[in-house]
Structure 1
């Protein structure tokens, strides 16, 4: 009887939400012809099989799923068959019962034989780590496929050891104040996606052991974790296809021959080792380094030189410009995206574009103004890509400065196979200035008669 009272309290807490949700959904469904009354008065949705309705409900949060039980007798127990648990971080609607009791009773009332997905993201301080341990252990015992666990606690929450030997889990995302203490064996034979954010590892080799226990891992996202007594991140995963790292002052070692996508965000290049990536398709680079790390930067770019798409952040291009860094040849590169603070002819033409002989798309965003004029008309040989392969040139954040016009003029004058020039102007340019800029751009000589110029107004407030 006590369990039923708690669940009933749960239902009543969402009656207003349910009525609003049902009214809005029913109106939309009627307009689309999805709900039509049959002669017996039962709508089409209620006539769907249980497994179909449960699949639809699996896309809702658990509180919304349970709330549907008051729709009709047909829906009273359907929520107990839904194979997902999604606990949101807003539980202020519970006035007479605690979140711990609600979760406990939801678990007790469930009839589904599996938990395919468990989501919990919360700032709640009214329950302790025992609840987390119980939830995760229950999910693992019921063939868990996906776990998303993000907690803001005044203390660290631990995880059950059974999670790290779960044979069914394919997606694991952990974040914030979670303590990962890997004292027993680790084997996750089905895990393909692993995201780790701001975690606390109990010992130095925990991450290495965790990754070595994931034989089919394809995607790893790692962000600023607190690994005790270590400053290194070692990623040796032959099956890895996608890697995203955001880490300050870590020694990064990567050996992933199957890697297709690499993103480094706000990462210092110190003692750096990156293997050769023959399968690499995209590299998004946001790095910084000091003079002592210049040699390691060279090793890094040699490691990614086979990428087909390369994107460099503003800070990265700035430090590379002033360091006079010389790039290796990017023979496979077809798409280059640069975020610039200055237009430096030596960096853009001599150091970079001459190393991209097969470049097809050049995408530049000049996002800052600099009083120091850097662009001068190059006196070196024109890069091969302008003669033979560059077909699309995009210039974003155009402010109609003289150096911008000169740089664009250089590309137009030498781009023999160029077909499209897209100019994206900043929103604050006055109409008269825009009109004058368009006239100047149209007057620029073009090596390609097929080149068309498209103009857009970029509104930063919408980006």
Structure 2
């Protein structure tokens, strides 16, 4: 019986589904399989292209065997021009090359002067004509293996002069300088805007937001950036529901003026100089702007930054139900603990808490004693501990010693009077058994409390009654 060529007679939608799971290079190569497959790749709804160079700029992967160059981007443009169907997603990730040479026993980084800006503009114009209706993701960065990598300078050699994509839903940019063209009219369909390590002027950023009134998600991360002048941003977006900010000392102000639908906020301090009072005031003002959210995520260094200011702060979170944040035990002192306690006091209806404990160094006896003095005692005047906090999750993956977190565990078991469930996630440290024994004898405020410990392979329910 002759073999039937079932692959050649597959419907186009199944062929496209198969090709969508391949890198672009392999998808294009399928045109050699059979006549019926010759132009199938031109119907792909998504293109993910990336070129990664080694630290000498000699090799690349995923689509071409040559270094990133103007020619490489022109070949990408040729592929895009061959597309026949609607383009839903276009993602371009370029790791730009650096030369590295030894000099006096230290490595010096010098830029390889390949500026893809001009052919990139032609590619963007082509994408406008193709009508990208979903996601546009452009990412430019240098190898993170390079010592003394100058992100704040080199990664912004690429200038993106943004045209108006009238049907675009999601725009994600990383590691570039963003400039709006004179004829720019805004993104009337855009719902998600993410700018990570992107240099943009105050005027252009305000105009971008003012002409994108359908935004529901806005993310701005300023790290390794020298913003001149310092960023000052007033946000008025009536449909905004989710914001994420990574701020450094070059940020002067971020204020959410009119965002009535805001539900979630994620704030991180990206500057290692978190002791700056200016940075502390900016962080405090940002927290004040998002005080209406129901879910709040605070990354590492936020508490330490706020500890530079005097308590009490003059606002609260009356609608907050879920809080996620880092507690850095390496830098714990009484001021940081006071901010931690104030946060709980400012959230009278908090129901769910996710806390990640960070401690990269083994604690000294002095710090351990301080933790016992601060945490292992009953607290007064914290409404959520008395009435609403029912679920606590403590993650201890970043602890050098699991026993370091026992005082934090005791704090909630001792004070959360309506606690239903506490999940403790650890990395299987040798002290885990000792921690279980400690939990069995700890005083528990809630008669319904259940404690469950997780490590990499097992789940253990600890009887704390």
TM over 0.5, yes or no? yes
8 A Cα contact 2:293 2:320, kept in partner:
yes
Partner of 1:457: 455
The equivalences for 1:110-129 within 5 A come to 110=82, 112-123=84-95, 128-129=116-117
8 A Cα contact 1:158 1:181, kept in partner:
no
SS at match of 1:427: coil
Partner of 2:28: 66
Give, in whole Å, the separation in 2 of the partners of 1:379 and 1:40: 78
8 A Cα contact 2:31 2:38, kept in partner:
yes
8 A Cα contact 2:31 2:41, kept in partner:
yes
Give, in whole Å, the separation in 2 of the partners of 1:75 and 1:82: 12
Partner of 1:257: 260
Q: Which of residues 122, 126, 139 in structure 1 aligns to 2:127?
A: 139
Q: Which of residues 300, 315, 321 in structure 2 aligns to 1:334?
A: 321
SS at match of 1:120: strand
Using structure 1 for the length normalisation, give the TM-score.
0.71
Partner of 1:283: none
Give, in whole Å, the separation in 1 of the partners of 2:443 and 2:3: 75
Higher radius of gyration, 1 or 2:
1
Give, in whole Å, the separation in 2 of the partners of 1:260 and 1:240: 8
Whether 2:359 is the aligned partner of 1:358: answer: no
Q: Which of residues 77, 81, 87 in structure 1 aligns to 2:49?
A: 87
SS at match of 1:88: strand
Give, in whole Å, the separation in 2 of the partners of 1:303 and 1:111: 45
Residues 244-269 of structure 1, C-alpha deviation per residue, up to 9 Å, x if partnerless? 2223221223323332222222257x
Distance 1:92 1:456, change over 3 A: same
The equivalences for 1:227-266 within 5 A come to 228-248=228-248, 249-251=250-252, 252-255=254-257, 256-266=259-269
The equivalences for 1:11-410 within 5 A come to 41-43=4-6, 46-89=8-51, 90=61, 91-93=63-65, 99=72, 102-103=75-76, 105-107=78-80, 110=82, 112-123=84-95, 128-145=116-133, 146-151=135-140, 156-159=157-160, 163-164=163-164, 166-201=165-200, 204-224=202-222, 228-248=228-248, 249-251=250-252, 252-255=254-257, 256-266=259-269, 288=274, 290-291=276-277, 298-321=284-307, 323=309, 325-327=311-313, 328-340=315-327, 341=329, 342=332, 347=338, 351-368=342-359, 369=363, 371-372=366-367, 373-374=369-370, 375-376=372-373, 378=377, 381=380, 383-397=382-396, 399=401, 405=406, 408-410=409-411
Distance 1:208 1:75, change over 3 A: same
CA RMSD of aligned residues (A): 3.8
Partner of 1:30: none
Query: Per-residue deviation at 1:63?
Result: 1.2
Query: Per-residue deviation at 1:334?
Result: 2.8
Larger helix fraction of residues: 1
Residues 369-402 of structure 1, C-alpha deviation per residue, up to 9 Å, x if partnerless? 353333435576363333332222334437465x
Give, in whole Å, the separation in 2 of the partners of 1:322 and 1:226: 23
Query: Per-residue deviation at 1:207?
Result: 1.5
SS at match of 1:48: coil
Query: Per-residue deviation at 1:354?
Result: 3.4
Partner of 2:460: none
8 A Cα contact 2:377 2:414, kept in partner:
no
Instruction: State the number of aligned residues.
Output: 395
Give, in whole Å, the separation in 1 of the partners of 2:85 and 2:427: 56
Give, in whole Å, the separation in 2 of the partners of 1:105 and 1:406: 61
Distance 1:226 1:65, change over 3 A: farther
Q: Which consecutive residues of structure 2, in runs of 5 or more, have no partner in the other structure? A: 52-60, 98-113, 143-153, 458-465
Q: Which moved more, 1:310-319 or 1:186-195?
A: 310-319
SS at match of 1:99: helix
8 A Cα contact 2:284 2:306, kept in partner:
no
Distance 1:151 1:303, change over 3 A: closer
Distance 1:288 1:257, change over 3 A: farther
Give, in whole Å, the separation in 1 of the partners of 2:83 and 2:378: 76
Give, in whole Å, the separation in 2 of the partners of 1:226 and 1:289: 18
Give, in whole Å, the separation in 2 of the partners of 1:173 and 1:158: 15
